[in-house]
Amino acid sequence: MFTQLKKEWFGNVRGDILSGIVVALALIPEAIAFSIIAGVDPMVGLYASFSMAVVIAFMGGRPAMISAATGAMALVMVTLVKDHGLQYLFAATLLTGVLQLIFGWLKVARLMKFVPRSVMVGFVNALAILIFTAQLPHFAGSSVVMYVFVAATLAIIYILPRFVKAVPSPLVAIVVMTIIAVAGGFDLRTVGDLGNITQSLPSFLIPDVPLNMETLSIIFPTALALSMVGLLESLLTASIVDDMTDTTSDKNREARGQGIANIVTGFFGGMAGCAMIGQSVINVKSGGRGRLSTFVAGAFLLFLIMVLGDVVVKIPMAALVGVMIMVSIGTFDWSSLKAFTKIPITDSVVMLVTVITVVITHDLSKGVFAGILLSAIFFTAKISKVDVSSARKDDTLYYKTAGQIFFASVTDFVNEFDYQPEGIKNVHIDFSEAHIWDDSGVAAVDKIVLKYRNNGIKVILTGLNEASSSMVKRMAVHDKQDAKLSGH
């Protein structure tokens, strides 16, 4: 236990400290930009990124994963912030944490296997599209200078890594563009025009909202959506970090950790956050493997906020828009476009429905629900095909059935039989390759038997597997005296 803890914290000190610093630098532009998407002051996202990272370093289940303020969460909270204000966001963040803690205790991680991959692909693609479209209002009524700045930011972000790898290129782009904007005296909107930066440590606060049912009814829907979106992205990120580092992680502990981190974040005036795929990949690539890397990322971020507060307000929005366009390009799963021709059409439909639902409702959780629902329906339709073949011998008709007999397949199943065969006295139905799943299935068997019986034909059922036959014995009426179909 102790040696495990020591390894998770101090197994890779040098690599963890360096990568943590890189991540802290890379987090600044994103935390500010996500705050602006959510419609809150940059400090709210920066404090959140600090407290999420530090708390997760201790409580998370996946060492080296980075949690902070994220685009997915920011997008979910937009309406709440606009309609009810910041205090309700803090309250919703607390409630998000409590819900995630409960989900974690209920071992929610095992439910991840019910989320099909096409839904996950739809989730990241929708996220990328929303982050991109959230940038478009910044262009409205802007001058050519704005476009030039955004293009220059993107050029630095994508070209610089060919020559310099140690410093995150988005940060360099932000610094360079800010210097050019200030020195050149360009008339550009800055972060300061959209919010305030205070060079103070986050302090403990209790959200200033009335403690009543009305408040709960305002924050609960948002908190529920936040908690699910947060867990979904966190557990996906954990799987990616698992794969990158070739190690395993405790997903339920991670879910509980996300809950605790959000509760703490809510009390310190931050917005709800979750794990970030992009930053976690940067961390592992930069050499981060242990909990120390996540801790250093959070702690160094706070240090930077204290030092850089004055500078942050001068950052031109154009530079942040550029960074967000980069984030959206990096988030989008481009291989899913190529996959269209290779994967089953139903998978593509599920992915598209997930994306379209999110883009229309602006709520990632609704898209995930729509996607899961649709893929469940597709799956049900796929396995509801039953196969019935028949052979005749003297006055006996032999039926062989194969497939899943349940509510979705019974109508076709019952119609496969010929109930008035010429010169037949006995019918044998072989179920050895079939499975009866529910009372609809049993009712179907009843119906078939009784229909034959009405026509004066004796029916023998064979080959029922154990589960099916116990279900038939328990619920069927055809073997009870004076059986009539009204039993169901």
Partner 1 sequence: MNGPILLASDGSSHALRAAEEAIKLAKVLNKEIVVVFVVDFDQSKRDVLHSAGAIDLEQKRRKQLQGTEQKIREAGVSYSVQLLHGMPGPAIVEYANKEAVSYVVLGSRGLNSLQEMVLGSVSHKVAKRVNCPVLIVK
Sites of contact with partner 1 (CB under 8 A): 113, 116-117, 120-121, 124, 162, 236, 239-240, 243-246, 277, 281, 284-285, 333, 335-336, 339
Task: Report, in Å, the least distance between residue 236 CB and partner 1.
Answer: 7
Cα 450 to Cα 439: distance, rounded to the nearest angstrom:
16
Looking at beta carbons only, is 339 or 373 nearer to partner 1? 339
Cα 352 to Cα 61: distance, rounded to the nearest angstrom:
32
Looking at beta carbons only, is 272 or 284 nearer to partner 1? 284
Task: Report, in Å, the least distance between residue 120 CB and partner 1.
Answer: 6
Task: Report, in Å, the least distance between residue 285 CB and partner 1.
Answer: 5
Q: Which of 255, 254, 279, 273 is nearest to 331 (CA)?
A: 279
Task: Report, in Å, the least distance between residue 335 CB and partner 1.
Answer: 5
Cα 58 to Cα 243: distance, rounded to the nearest angstrom:
21
- State phi, psi for 399 to the nearest 5 degrees: -105, 135
Looking at beta carbons only, is 256 or 289 nearer to partner 1? 289
How much of the chain is helix, strand and coil, in % rounded to 5? 65, 10, 25
Cα 485 to Cα 80: distance, rounded to the nearest angstrom:
54
Torsion of CA 401, 431, 436, 403, to 10 degrees: -30
Q: Which residue has the tokens 């009843």?
A: 446
Looking at beta carbons only, is 277 or 323 nearer to partner 1? 277
Task: Report, in Å, the least distance between residue 349 CB and partner 1.
Answer: 16
Looking at beta carbons only, is 222 or 249 nearer to partner 1? 249
| Residue 81, helix vs strand vs coil | helix
Looking at beta carbons only, is 27 or 284 nearer to partner 1? 284
Tokens at 485, concatenated: 């179909």
Tell me which H or E stretch contains 263. helix 251-267
Task: Report, in Å, the least distance between residue 67 CB and partner 1.
Answer: 17
